[in-house]
Amino acid sequence: MHTPVLLSESIEFLNVKPEGIYFDCTSGGGGHSEEIAKRLSEKGMLICLDMDEDAIERVRERLKSYKCNKFFFHKNFKDIDEVANEVGIAGEVDGILADLGTSMFQLKDFERGFSFSGEGELDMRMNRKSNLTAEEVVNRYSENELALIFKEYGEERLSKKIARMIVEERKISPIKTTSRLAEIAVKAYGSRKSRIHPATRIFQAIRIEVNKELENLKIFLEKSIPLLKKGGRLVVISFHSLEDRIVKNFFRDKAKNCICPEFQMRCTCGGNNAIVKVLTKKVIRPSEVEVGENPASRSARLRACEKVI
């Protein structure tokens, strides 16, 4: 069973109203969706999105006993505007939630290739209908391209060395399995001590590249705000600094009253341009109790904002 992270905190910041309209844009195991559905009346509405077809079917089954209006879409959250227009609720949404983590269902299904804990093919596609796979990235990208994504998306200090070793290994034979890729990372680190498994950042970087996660997050954030009504809220749970930085900067920019260029000495924009109010002055992290019960939550970070116009 996938355990939803920061569950009570996310529901609190969403401020769920019984007759409200809510999006769970990354439904996953359905834990957050169910907590929202519990609080909705028959007049309330919940729209569930996920890139993973299996996830959508799981959440559909999990929510079948709830009486609120429910819609399920096998969609990337970057397409939230298309879904809102299809349902006819653009500008009327009370709350939008996005949990950016990989679900335990995906991690434990070794055939999906997200984890190096078991043997599996190098896939890593959230949406299995997408074209680009992890195997293609590992075997077709140039050494420089691999080093760049390991550095940019994995913040990996041995990015160049690991990229070079991958290129050398694939000359022998194509790298097709998670275990072989993980072994290369382990060899690269050698006797160096690492707080996390040597393959962790490499797998993260490749997964981000395969699913265009950071690009899609930026698109999603920009599209979400116009869908909210005044007082509507956007809640985002991220799991690494790259995602969190994007969310933090987006909220900060949308909360600015003055949008004049920084070099300008005097404000000429009127100084009343804030679109949102940031509700989380400091990022929200899981409690020690939650981390003890669910170690996978330890890196979760929640930020929330409220539309003010």
- Which amino acids are annotated as binding site, given as ranges? 30-32, 50, 77, 99, 106
Q: How many CB atoms lie within 10 A of CB 215?
A: 11
Q: E strand or H helix at 98, and its extent?
A: strand 93-99
3-state DSSP call for residue 49?
strand
Distance between CA atoms of residues 229 and 232, nearest Å: 5
- Among 100, 120, 97, which Cα is nearest to 11's? 97
Beta bridge partners of 95: 22, 233
> Could you say which DSSP state residue 79 is in?
G
Name the helix (H) or strand (E) containing 23.
strand 21-24
Annotated binding-site residue numbers for S-adenosyl-L-methionine: 30-32, 50, 77, 99, 106
97: left (phi over 0), alpha (psi -120 to 50) or beta: beta
Q: Which tokens sit at 62?
A: 């999990």
Q: Which tokens go with 212?
A: 């265009």
